[in-house]
Amino acid sequence: MKALKCHPNHTLKALVLLAALVSISAEAGIIASKPRGMPTHDQSELPAPASGYYCGPVAAWNSIEWMYDTYPKYFKDKKPANWKDGVNELAGYMKTDKNKGTWVNDFISGKKTFFEKHANPGSWQVESKNADWDPVAKKWGADAPTWKWIRTQMDKGQDVEVVIRWDGGAHWTNPAKGAFDEEPDSANILTLDYYVWNDVNDNLEFDLGDAMDWFLSDPHQEVVTMSMSLGTSPVAPGGDWLNAKYGNKNVWVTAAVAESIPEPSTILLLGMGAIGLLRVKRASPSLAGIA
């Protein structure tokens, strides 16, 4: 793939969760995870050419810095005084190419290496779902992340990075031609902060008629939220791929990586007994008003 690159564009930080909890009624269920205050470091502050191709290590550092701040006792050391030092260390472990980007498999193994070096033994966990392009096998993976898997990680208190892809050229529609080196603008990695989900059918399944917003930390500051849906992918069978709009691009979630220091960061809300979830009722199935 070597294409985890986005387009820089300044934007505002996400609004707080309470802005979404309006027009309460008894017709549809809203489920929302607890906002975490994920860091939002800007990749464009790195020197060129890394400023265009380091979304992988920057997204990873956003989550790791949050872990250092939230769970300091589980690390052997203190976080670097300069966030760019953490990014550069991760880029080394991830074999990030300053002119091309990071392969997803290297992103996953690089995060594991960081925790092996900096976290106390046995105090970290990295899990992943990966259906992205495999540069060795030269084919797409079969283990696409589902909403159920991502939500489970979020509700356990884990933070999650997601890989999104859009149609960057021939390799999207004809992957048999090879890897993505010729189309370096067709992917990005984002860190999830929290989600707001209108479970219209009240069945705890993300299905037709539901609406969901993800609030994100974007290394290139292009978006703070994406409205999610289910659909097909141009490169793999099935209609249950997570889809969204990233700026003006139609994107697919091809991989997700979750990691945590095992101490719950979520709380009980409204006496439901669900960890880190807020469930209320709202009349409209649309989340279009949330920004």
pLDDT at 191: 94
Task: Return per-residue pLDDT of the chain as tens, 291 residues.
Answer: 444 544 433 333 333 333 333 333 334 589 999 899 999 999 999 999 999 899 999 999 999 999 999 889 999 999 999 999 999 999 999 999 988 889 889 999 999 999 999 999 888 888 999 888 777 777 777 888 999 999 998 888 778 999 998 876 433 333 344 444 334 347 889 999 999 999 988 888 898 788 999 999 999 888 999 999 988 776 666 667 898 988 888 888 989 999 876 554 433 333 333 334 444 333 332 222 211
Supply angle C-alpha 9, 12, 17, rounded to 5.
135
- What are the residue ranges spanned by the domains of the chain? 40-194+212-263
pLDDT at 159: 84
pTM higher than 0.95: no
Determine the Cα–Cα distance for residues 218 and 60; give it in Å rounded to an integer.
11
pLDDT at 124: 81
Contact 132, 141 (CB under 8 A): yes
Determine the Cα–Cα distance for residues 50 and 182; give it in Å rounded to an integer.
17
> Is the domain defined by 40-194+212-263 classed in CATH 3.40.50?
no
* Residue type at 38 in one-letter notation: M
Determine the Cα–Cα distance for residues 158 and 135; give it in Å rounded to an integer.
28
DSSP conformation class of 75: B
Distance of CA 249 to the CA centre of its chain: 16
Beta strands in 36-186 (DSSP E): 125-130, 133-134, 139-140, 159-166
pLDDT at 245: 87
Contact 278, 269 (CB under 8 A): yes
pLDDT at 42: 95
Which of 211, 289, 279 has the alpha carbon at shortest distance from 24? 279
Tokens 């030269």, residue located: 138
